[in-house]
Chains A and B, each alone.
Chain A
Amino acid sequence: MSKVDLSVNFCGMHLKNPVLLASGTIGYGNEIAQFTDINNLGGIVTKSLSLKPRKGNPPPRIIETSSGMLNAIGLANVGVEAFIKDKIPFLKELNTTIFCNIAASTIDEYVECVHILTSEDTINAFEINVSCPNVKEGGLEFGNDLQTVGRITEKIRSVTKKPIIIKLSPNVSRISAFAKVVKEEGGNAVSAINTLVGTSFDINTRRPKLYNITGGLSGPAIKPIALAKVLEIKRTVDIPIIGIGGIMNWRDAVEMMIVGASAFQIGTVNFINPNAGAEIVEGLISYCEKKSISKVSELTGSYQI
């Protein structure tokens, strides 16, 4: 056994390690479980849930770009009722922290989803998606408006005692202002960042490559932006941060923690290497051993500027 303490105390929860699997990149956990042992990870964030099922966007939904990919899935999901009936039984058997991601079209819908789900013991925390760029109503608009993000946080706070993590949009000028509002309205933490709005066109047909025209850019291409946004929040607001954006390996993960992340999520890399989370855990251990770091949490915000 390694002497390195990988555990992280996050919003009062004990995470085995800071490695989380990002929402929308692992469904509800069952498919990726064929390739990796989820129980060795810090936690998983389930696919965005809305009150009613959503069919999602027609294809094409995914386009590869330079060191990244654009997706416009459109929040395809089973809805709260089917989630409780069909997905919770699998999640219940896992020995890891379960973050339930919620996406909605109205403030009332967010509140209702959390209200229904908060009594599920399997769910340890809520991650609130106020920043999906691929649905027409709500989504991005919410994530772009300080007052609305504040109201969503406040209203959700009133229906659950579980940790609330607001997933912030990078498509704003001052992300730290949003983190500040989340803290003021009783949110426990923020996730940063969601995908960046991008597009891609076919030069022969002059048509967009995605049905939705625009999509969310993810992958290594966005890592420098994610690092800058996390750093901005860390230097401005005293709130725990889950760092997300382009993490492909343990080096990227260490970098994300140094700029301020208490834990981090991996997303796009799961599509390429479904065992990436476990490999990052191993990499973190050897990094900490080499650097004589006894607790991985010492890395958080340890930048030297």
Chain B
Amino acid sequence: MYSEKSFVQSVEKVSDEIFLVKVFSPAIACIVKPGQFCNIKVSENNLPLLRRPFSVSDVDDNFICFLFNVHGEGTNILSKKKNGDVLEILGPLGNGFSYKDDFQTAILVAGGLGMAPFPILTKNITGEKEIITLVGGRSKNQIVTAGLINISVATEDGSMGYKGTVLELLQEKINKTDKKKFKIFSCGPNPMLKALQKLSNENNYDCEMSVEGAMACGFGICQGCPIESANGESYLLVCKDGPVFNSKAVKL
């Protein structure tokens, strides 16, 4: 884990609402694993005060990339960064996906910007296992597929790809696959993850979910991001025990 002063290489607008920031961060770049995140201080003053957590989306040599949409002051500031600006980045944080397990096909299930951690995961699995990528959203302007392969899209309004939810699409894909061993990797809004968790646990699918939680520190000291363990007896921390959890480990 490092606290690294990182130079912004570029901030690129990927869609109406979504940006991609690429930063020179060699120490983090060489150790980050798919599914891990970084906690970024977007300003040098107290506005905003806290860091903002972002999944590492991709790694390119000494550079790391983050995908984000603007939904508050922190992300607004980040979207306006220029080449050469400095970001204070803490990372890599948390536990990533367990993608080296015994399975043949990885099914990546993303809701909207939940695809953020999948380009780096795709890179790490490609050549080892088959990948099926399912990306869902309300309509086509929420769909980002850069860095992904073998993609099927689902939109609720039917403006792109399959008309329906990404889970309906997933069910269809699973029904069509023969009995090959697959593992689901997922990230997206909580309602989607909840539905996926139910589906996976009922059918005993092997499923990992990357979850979100408001947090301050990102490494376990503020205790701000609890998530209830499946048995309800204790709280785990999204930052330190996650952000990737097995679908059977937590209550969403």
Residues of chain B contacted by A64 (CB below 8 angstroms):
48-50, 216
CA distance A26 to B217 in the complex (A): 10
Interface residues of B in 209-237 (CB under 8 A from A): 213-217, 219-228, 234-235
In the complex, whether A55 has a CB less than 8 A from a CB of chain B is yes
In the complex, whether B41 has a CB less than 8 A from a CB of chain A is yes
A278 smallest CB distance to B (angstroms): 12
Asked whether A69 lies within 8 Å of B223 as measured between CB atoms, the reply is no
In the complex, whether B1 has a CB less than 8 A from a CB of chain A is yes
Question: In chain A, what residue has the closest Cβ to B41?
Answer: A272
Asked whether B220 lies within 8 Å of A62 as measured between CB atoms, the reply is no
CA distance A270 to B215 in the complex (A): 13
Out of A56, A76, A248, A271, name the residue touching B50 (CB < 8 Å): A271
In the complex, whether A180 has a CB less than 8 A from a CB of chain B is no
Residues of chain B contacted by A34 (CB below 8 angstroms):
1, 219
Asked whether B223 lies within 8 Å of A76 as measured between CB atoms, the reply is yes
Residues of chain B contacted by A60 (CB below 8 angstroms):
214
CA distance A300 to B214 in the complex (A): 38
Binding site of B, secondary structure by majority: helix, strand, loop or mixed? loop
In the complex, whether A170 has a CB less than 8 A from a CB of chain B is no
Asked whether B217 lies within 8 Å of A271 as measured between CB atoms, the reply is yes
Question: In chain B, what residue has the closest Cβ to A67?
Answer: B46
Which of the four size classes fits the interface of chain A? 35 or more
B73 smallest CB distance to A (angstroms): 9
Residues of chain A contacted by B227 (CB below 8 angstroms):
59
Which of the four size classes fits the interface of chain B? 20 to 34
> Which of B49, B51, B226: most chain A Cβ within 10 A?
B49
Residues of chain A contacted by B88 (CB below 8 angstroms):
273
Asked whether A59 lies within 8 Å of B46 as measured between CB atoms, the reply is no
Residue pairs across A and B with Cβ atoms less than 8 A apart, 29 shown, are A27-B223, A31-B220, A32-B221, A34-B1, A58-B228, A60-B214, A62-B224, A64-B49, A64-B50, A67-B47, A67-B49, A68-B49, A69-B49, A69-B216, A71-B224, A73-B222, A73-B224, A219-B46, A219-B49, A248-B46, A268-B49, A270-B217, A271-B50, A272-B50, A272-B51, A272-B216, A272-B217, A273-B41, A274-B219
| Chain A to chain B: the 6 pairs with minimum beta-carbon distance, closest first | A62-B224, A271-B217, A271-B216, A31-B220, A67-B46, A73-B223
CA distance A31 to B222 in the complex (A): 10
B179 smallest CB distance to A (angstroms): 39
In the complex, whether B240 has a CB less than 8 A from a CB of chain A is yes
Q: Given A31-B219, A67-B47, A68-B49, do A56 and B3 touch, yes or no (CB 8 Å)?
A: no
Asked whether A61 lies within 8 Å of B51 as measured between CB atoms, the reply is no
Chain B 193-213 interface mask (CB, 8 Å, partner A; 1/0): 000000000000000000001
Asked whether B222 lies within 8 Å of A271 as measured between CB atoms, the reply is yes
Out of A63, A71, A275, name the residue touching B222 (CB < 8 Å): A71
Asked whether B47 lies within 8 Å of A56 as measured between CB atoms, the reply is no
Out of A58, A62, A66, A275, name the residue touching B215 (CB < 8 Å): A62
Known: A57-B226, A64-B48. 9 other contacts (CB 8 A): A31-B240, A32-B219, A56-B223, A59-B224, A67-B47, A69-B49, A73-B222, A274-B3, A274-B90
Residues of chain B contacted by A90 (CB below 8 angstroms):
none
CA distance A76 to B47 in the complex (A): 29
CA distance A247 to B3 in the complex (A): 20
CA distance A282 to B226 in the complex (A): 35
Asked whether B234 lies within 8 Å of A55 as measured between CB atoms, the reply is yes
CA distance A88 to B226 in the complex (A): 24
Asked whether A55 lies within 8 Å of B235 as measured between CB atoms, the reply is yes
> Which of B88, B216, B219: most chain A Cβ within 10 A?
B216
Q: Given A55-B235, A61-B226, A62-B222, do A275 and B3 touch, yes or no (CB 8 Å)?
A: yes
In the complex, whether A214 has a CB less than 8 A from a CB of chain B is no
Asked whether A27 lies within 8 Å of B220 as measured between CB atoms, the reply is yes
> Which of B47, B219, B222: most chain A Cβ within 10 A?
B222
Residues of chain A contacted by B222 (CB below 8 angstroms):
25, 62, 71, 73, 271
Question: In chain A, what residue has the closest Cβ to B216?
Answer: A271
Chain A 27-56 interface mask (CB, 8 Å, partner B; 1/0): 100011011000000000000000000011
Interface residues of A in 217-240 (CB under 8 A from B): 219-220
Question: In chain B, what residue has the closest Cβ to A75?
Answer: B223
Asked whether B221 lies within 8 Å of A56 as measured between CB atoms, the reply is no
CA distance A272 to B215 in the complex (A): 11
CA distance A29 to B240 in the complex (A): 15
Out of B1, B50, B228, B234, name the residue touching A35 (CB < 8 Å): B1
Asked whether A76 lies within 8 Å of B46 as measured between CB atoms, the reply is no
